[in-house]
Amino acid sequence: MRGPSADPALLDEAVELARAAGAMTLKVFRTDGVRLLDKGDGSTVTEVDLAVERFLRASIEERHPDDAIIGEELPDRPGSSGRTWVVDPIDGTESFVHGVVTYSTAIAVLDDHGTVIGVTCSPAAGETVYAGRGLGCVWDGAPARVSERAELRGAFLTTSDQEDWPVEAWLAVRDAGVRVRDWGNAYGVGLAVTGRVDAFVDYGLAPWDLAPMAVLAEEAGGRFSVLDGSQRLDGRIGLVSNGRLHEELLTLLREGVRDVDGAPEW
């Protein structure tokens, strides 16, 4: 069931928070003020990631004390309202650290029916893409729509990197004539739902990566799913497309994945 439309005021609030978080990152972007920390799992994190997530959590807790919060860097906060905020303070930390403008702050709000609000703010690129269930998808004040492409050959698909791809999937996509570019993370989702590329995919994702995708894609006229075709947030591999190419791309992207229905392995 699709569920009730989003509260426009709540969508405005999520956009406001994402932009405020983005402004925090811009203060130290491309400066010597970015200090790397040891996250323990080999991934990159900075003091800025932690500061931004603390800001977002404090703001949400003050405004919505009964809402749950899930974030990338800090422990989950339980809630009693039936609503959950999912925050990724800097999606694309490697881009941020290296002075590349494609990093974003991502925020999603979940209710009993799935994702009701999704926001990606890419402050260094100067753009914000956001959607609320039943309210449409917006790209910096204008309606956002996916592309009209119906043919796989020549389609543009963006991703964060190809290191996590199964070799078989990479070869299948290449041989189908799809043109792959590394414009990824939440910024790549924004590219897909605004029609600048035809699809976005990433392997090895977490719930805070996947959470905004469904509402952004659907409100822009496209489709989101993990490899088994569902919209689970534990599916690890997320595909956002214009909808017309979705099933063909899923077939290609399943190549080399041994467990499509569970947590995929390759």
Residue type, 6: A
- Across the chain, mean pLDDT equals 94
Q: What is the pTM of this model?
A: 0.94
User: Beta-carbon neighbour count of residue 240 at 10 Å?
Assistant: 33
* Cα end-to-end distance, the chain, whole Å: 32
Cα 231 to Cα 49, 186, 199, 205, 240, distances in angstroms? 27, 17, 16, 13, 11
Sign of the CA dihedral with 58 first, then 97, 192, and 264 last:
negative
pLDDT at 33: 75
Query: Maximum Cα–Cα distance for the chain, whole Å?
Result: 52
For residue 228, pLDDT beyond 50 = yes
pLDDT above 80: residue 142: yes
Neighbours of 44 (CB within 10 A): 16
